[in-house]
Chains A and B, each alone.
Chain A
Amino acid sequence: MTQAVVETQFLADRRAAAASALAALELPSFRGVDGWEFTPIQGLELDSFAPAPAGESAAGLLELDSANAIRPSSDDPGPGAAVVMGLAAAAECYPEVVEKHLGTVVKDAESPFVARNEALWSDGLLIYIPKGVEVGAPIIVNTVHEVAGSALHWRLLVVLEEGAKAEVWHQTLSADAEAEGLVNGVVELVVGAGAKLRFVDAQSLSESSWVFGSQRAVVERDASLDWITLGFGSANGKIFLETKLAGRGADARVTGAYATRGRQHLDYDTLQEHAAPDTTSDLAFRGIIGGRSQAVWRGMIQVDEGAQRTDAFQESRNLLIGRKAHADAIPGLEILANDVRCTHAAAVAQVDPEQLFYLRSHGLDEADANRLVVEGFLHALVERFEEGPVRDAVAAAIDARLQLSLA
């Protein structure tokens, strides 16, 4: 993505403030810190990776067959159209949008990752859908970690104004499948009143990368968010994935699929915050854990005082396919309103011998039977989407990844 050489005062001020805060935010020892107990990041030296800009392209994991896809452009599309523009340029063209929203959704001042991102981001993008605009074509964005041994701090701000509708596809990739590095992203999703956003995010970094992410959505009155996240790459790190149902009638569906192998450690921390009455959320995460890899999912449903008639659901299921594979699930409920329906479920299982037996009794060999069961486990998530390009692309990405996991 192209960046303007000179940043607006607004951006420069934010950067400077974060840079000065950074000095006081030495990467703490996370041992014993709530939420970080199971994340083995003691080997991380944050400053050993020099910041570097993103690259232009790499082979994508999500293949969306869409000739009319909207891609980032430094040209102002004019009124009534979707803006997909580098953040520095957007801060000049759309200061009222950038200045109103940037840093208001993800604002964890205590996090050394968020502060580093604020101070050092080299790759930023604004997606802005003005009031009432419905974008038919998908918006497709790739973030590519290109320089081996570097840190890529990227951020994405998506703003849908009242009644707008859009579908955004984002992938995080490594140019070199073996490259080491650190990728640290901040994603802010603002879904205005009555707006509809579908956000598909795939992480397929090299399996030698650190990955950190702070991703958060605010869903306003009667708006809906359909968030899909795929986690396949990286060696270690942690992603926060948070949704705030901020207005009455807001709805969010969050779907996560991941597959790990080798010695990967994949770590998700999800939050469904119900801050207004009559809100609904439905979160489902599933993972296939192979080899000696580890997956951690920590999920919280938080119902604030007064958020009556909340309906919240949360589910985590892991399938362990490696003898030394390890899965941690830490679901949580914190409920401060009484007229609610909140449910969570978590399960860890092996490939069901009865299913295997059934398939083999119908003539499949053991490897094929095993593959079918494992694929079926993740494909159950795909059933959450209507038929169409999203469902096909997610299914294809899962299959491609499982080919590696089951190899």
Chain B
Amino acid sequence: MANPEQTRVPLTTEEEGLKDLNDDYTERYGFHDAENYLFKAPKGLTRELVEKISEFKNEPQWMREFRLKSLDHFLAREMPTWGSPLLAEVDFDNIHYFVRASERPERSWDDVPEDVKKTFDRLGIPEAERSFLAGVGAQYESEVVYHQVNKDLEDQGVIFLDMDSALRDHEDLVREYFATIIPANDNKLASLNSAVWSGGSFVYVPPGVQVEMPLQAYFRINTENMGQFERTIIIADEGSYVHYVEGCTAPTYSSDSLHSAVVELIAKPGARIRYTTVQNWSQNVFNLVTKRAVAEKDATVEWVDCNLGSKLTMKYPSVYLMGERAHGEILSIAFAGKGQHQDAGGKIVHVAPNTTSNIFAKSISKGGGRSSYRGLLEVANGARGSKSKVVCDALLLDDESRSDTYPTIRIGEDEVDVGHEATVSKVGDEQLFYLMSHGISEEEAGKLIVNGFIEPIVKELPMEYAVEMNRLIELQMEGSIG
């Protein structure tokens, strides 16, 4: 429970408070620009299109072959049937797989095409960069349109590029790591990404370098029926540290878009990677993402994963603890409102001895929404002395919403200590009564309780994102109590 004195006064006025989330989303993020693209592929996925993407990007032969092989995997695989009935609504034939908005990523904001710049100005991205972030990448449709990295970091050998540029400028490095954590045939959506990927970030941090300020990426879908398939790899070399933050929005259209990213993290011995997501896609985006990390000896990987938007999210960030004493951490918030299904969670696999992990998940369901925690905790034989704790809490705000918890625990080693706990409850009448007896309205009291519920995870976010997160939660909460 948050202390009322410490909780921010909501920014919304009484009048704004009457709107529901979708109204506000449309105003803040739901605008879309006139389409003025260099290239926009027709709907549908063909071998020719995959070849064309590769040709456009002037890629090496191995990448072209990788794409075509991935396309075969995608076509051969059945659509998964688990997770959500909404999955059946994904129509692969009704999607634009590639849209090019700009010639190449710009390093000066002034050079970004005017309409795209306007979009990101409205979203406040360059402002964020100016204030404190170490580097910013902004992806519009299929490709990164703007990229900037702090000169100091560049001098220390930090690479922060969009993936297309990285493939061009650091081909050997990209080739060494590309698809080594998530193979092309990992699952149907990862195969799709492998075939048509475009954009995303490539980050390499040399041994010992501590990147103190977060690197930031912003993803934006503008076109109706767009598919965005960014590909991100982050390599933290021995003893280094990096924090990567991503945010995402899209306009509100009447028909659906697809976002299907592949993100691979490699934490070398003693390194630490933190990867933070604030996902606020509009409610016509299918968000089907594969994210996986390996942590080598003494390394730490942390996923901080907040899912508020999208129609359906299916995302289970994973950490494979491959080296002795590696540590994995997953902090997850999911908020499902009307018409939404957040199927989120995380996976930890202990492969090496004396590895440790934690998963903390908080989910909230409201207005008929459904939030599910789906997770895996596995300890392989030989991972002696491993310890893990998984705690999932869910809050149900009304009687039409739904909450599910599906954790799986597989233990093949006797020298372990693992525990899982989950609780589902409603906003307590006593809590509400207590706050209301202190002169707080029922609606405000409900917000305070929800804020207190997610506070342990929100406080892990960078300040700007914590502010945005709290604002989004408040919007989701408008009118939810009583």
Q: Are A and B bound to each other? A: yes
Question: Which residue numbers of A lie inside 8 Å of B, CB to CB?
Answer: 34, 38, 305-306, 308, 318, 320-350
A339 touching B426 in the complex, CB below 8 Å, given contacts A344-B421, A350-B417: yes
A335 touching B421 in the complex, CB below 8 Å, given contacts A330-B406, A348-B416: no
- Are B414 and A330 in contact, CB atoms less than 8 angstroms apart? no
Q: Which residue of A lies closest to B370 (CB)?
A: A336
| Cα of A343 to Cα of B403 in the assembled complex, Å | 12
In the complex, what residues of A have CB within 8 A of residue B403's CB?
Answer: 333-335
| Cα of A308 to Cα of B429 in the assembled complex, Å | 14
Which one of B381, B407, B414, B421 has the highest number of Cβ atoms from chain A below 10 Å of its Cβ?
Answer: B414
- Are A327 and B404 in contact, CB atoms less than 8 angstroms apart? no
Does B420 lie at the interface of the complex (its beta carbon under 8 Å from any beta carbon of A)?
yes
- Are A327 and B411 in contact, CB atoms less than 8 angstroms apart? yes
Q: Which residue of B lies closest to A328 (CB)?
A: B410
In the complex, what residues of B have CB within 8 A of residue A346's CB?
Answer: 407, 409, 419-420
Does B412 lie at the interface of the complex (its beta carbon under 8 Å from any beta carbon of A)?
yes
Within 8 A of A (CB), among B368-414: 379, 381, 394, 396-399, 401-414
In the complex, what residues of B have CB within 8 A of residue A337's CB?
Answer: 396, 399
Give which listed residue, A321, A324, A329, contacts B409 with CB less than 8 A: A329
Q: Which residue of B lies closest to A326 (CB)?
A: B412
Dominant SS at the B interface?
A: strand
In the complex, what residues of B have CB within 8 A of residue A345's CB?
Answer: 419-422
- Are B411 and A328 in contact, CB atoms less than 8 angstroms apart? yes
In the complex, what residues of B have CB within 8 A of residue A334's CB?
Answer: 402-404
In the complex, what residues of A have CB within 8 A of residue B413's CB?
Answer: 320
- Are B425 and A342 in contact, CB atoms less than 8 angstroms apart? yes
| Cα of A245 to Cα of B77 in the assembled complex, Å | 41
* Shortest distance from the beta carbon of B336 to any chain A beta carbon, whole Å: 13
Given contacts A341-B425, A343-B424, 11 further A-B contacts (CB under 8 A): A321-B414, A325-B414, A330-B409, A331-B405, A332-B404, A334-B403, A335-B404, A340-B426, A343-B422, A344-B421, A350-B416
Contacts between chains A and B (CB distance < 8 A), count:
113
| Cα of A337 to Cα of B400 in the assembled complex, Å | 7
- Are B414 and A332 in contact, CB atoms less than 8 angstroms apart? no
Q: Which residue of A lies closest to B382 (CB)?
A: A323
In the complex, what residues of B have CB within 8 A of residue A324's CB?
Answer: 381, 412
Does B415 lie at the interface of the complex (its beta carbon under 8 Å from any beta carbon of A)?
yes
A338 touching B419 in the complex, CB below 8 Å, given contacts A330-B407, A333-B405: no
- Are B416 and A344 in contact, CB atoms less than 8 angstroms apart? no
| Cα of A53 to Cα of B47 in the assembled complex, Å | 62
- Are B398 and A338 in contact, CB atoms less than 8 angstroms apart? yes
Does B131 lie at the interface of the complex (its beta carbon under 8 Å from any beta carbon of A)?
no
A335 touching B394 in the complex, CB below 8 Å, given contacts A34-B82, A321-B414, A349-B416: yes
- Are B425 and A340 in contact, CB atoms less than 8 angstroms apart? yes
Give which listed residue, A326, A339, A341, A344, contacts B405 with CB less than 8 A: A344
| Cα of A350 to Cα of B383 in the assembled complex, Å | 13
A336 touching B402 in the complex, CB below 8 Å, given contacts A326-B411, A328-B410, A347-B420: yes
* Shortest distance from the beta carbon of A277 to any chain B beta carbon, whole Å: 11
* Shortest distance from the beta carbon of B243 to any chain A beta carbon, whole Å: 32
Q: Which residue of B lies closest to A309 (CB)?
A: B426
Which one of B381, B403, B416 has the highest number of Cβ atoms from chain A below 10 Å of its Cβ?
Answer: B403
